[in-house]
Amino acid sequence: MNQATNSFVQPTQVSFTSGGQQCRADFYRPGDSGPFPLIILAHGLGGVRTMRLGAFAERFLAEGYACLVFDYRHFGDSEGQPRQLLDINKQLEDWQSALNHARTLAEIDPAKIVLWGTSFGGGHVLAAAAKDQGVAAVISQGPFTNGLASTLAVDPVVSMKVTAKAIQDRVGALFGAEPVMVTVAALPGETGLMSSQDAYTGFMNLQSDGQKALNYVAARFALDIIRYYPGRKAKDIKVPVLFCVCDNDTVAPAGPTLKYAAQAPKGEIKRYADGHFDIYIGDAFERVVADQIRFLRQHVPV
């Protein structure tokens, strides 16, 4: 299928239930008759689906793959209060709920569902696929795999300031206080969950015109990230997994990811001389999406 076949196909806005609340999503459906293989996509830390995920979905759509691109609860168009609450267990539940919903769609081949996650979502898809053995394949892009490694990548002084906010937020939540927010992507030296040289510019480059994502989350999340090691689940995934690893990743260090990827029974590794945010745009995007399409054609053909 060539790019022109689906060039004018617009996604349909849909929703599915997760934890009694609605996750909003964009459903991209190829123009011909199904059933289609489906790719489920979601973003990383503080990201929403308008932040360049549509660019990937459009490329996959042109190859004949349906795509379901969703926002986690508490983010974007999805329900959930308080807003901007990043809860790891809830986000993993959202992935499972998206899978459950996809399997009910008449035009989808339930034996050909692929999980695609990037950054923090790249770790989530490893955990989700290890738990649900019914997926066909996994694409883990620039993945967060090791909480300690990502924590140590942050300037120690900044990390202390973030932790102080996190404790304040967690204690306040016990008494019903409004969340204490922390910046997601900050300039170097400023207080934020990501404050490397490329973090702020990279995060802002993903913003779409007229749909600016909020650059903050409830600070309590910082107390949980250090205890999250989704990379350890790679060894339990029995289906093909493509790890797209950025050698110059300042947010999700490549070293631990390469170690975990080597343990995946059907793992494939593609390495890029790029930074964490580079692979969403420009030439780096073209390279990574081409590798992902080759992987899909091989393991989950249309």
For the full predicted model, state whether its pTM sits above 0.85. yes
Note the pLDDT of residue 222: 96
* Under-50 pLDDT residues of the chain: 1-8
Angle at 120 between CA 28 and CA 101, to 5 degrees: 40
- List, as one string, the DSSP characters of 213-280: PP-EEEGGGHHHHTT--GGGGGGG--S-EEEEEETT-SSS-HHHHHHHHHHSTTEEEEEESS-TTGGG
3 state DSSP class of 6: helix
Handedness of CA 273, 276, 278, 284 (dihedral sign): positive
Number of residues in the chain: 302
Q: What is the DSSP letter of 9?
A: P
Residue type, 249: D
Residue 219 within any structural domain of the chain = no
Residue 236 within any structural domain of the chain = yes
Residue 16 within any structural domain of the chain = yes
Strand partners, 173: none
Residues 96-125, buried b or exposed e (16+ Cβ, 10 A)? ebbbebbeebeebbeebbbbbbbbbbbbbb
Q: Is residue 114 a contact partner of residue 143, using CB atoms and an 8 Å limit?
A: no
Residue 256: cis peptide before it, omega within 30 degrees of 0: no
State in Å, rounded, how far the first CA of the chain is from the last one.
9
Residue 278 within any structural domain of the chain = yes
Note the pLDDT of residue 2: 37
Distance CA 117, CA 170 (A): 28
3 state DSSP class of 101: helix
Helices assigned H by DSSP within 45-155: 53-62, 88-102, 120-131, 147-152
Residue 170 within any structural domain of the chain = no
Residue 255 within any structural domain of the chain = yes
* CATH code for the domain of 39: 3.40.50.1820
Domain, as residue range, for 292 = 3-155+227-299
Total domains in the chain come to: 1
Residue 276 within any structural domain of the chain = yes
Note the pLDDT of residue 212: 74
Distance CA 76, CA 39 (A): 20
Give the helix/strand (H/E) hosting 113.
strand 108-118
Smallest CA-to-CA distance from 91 within 26, 45, 53 is with 45
Count of CB atoms within 10 A of residue 61's CB? Answer: 25
Note the pLDDT of residue 9: 67
Residue 185 within any structural domain of the chain = no
Q: Is residue 74 a contact partner of residue 86, using CB atoms and an 8 Å limit?
A: yes
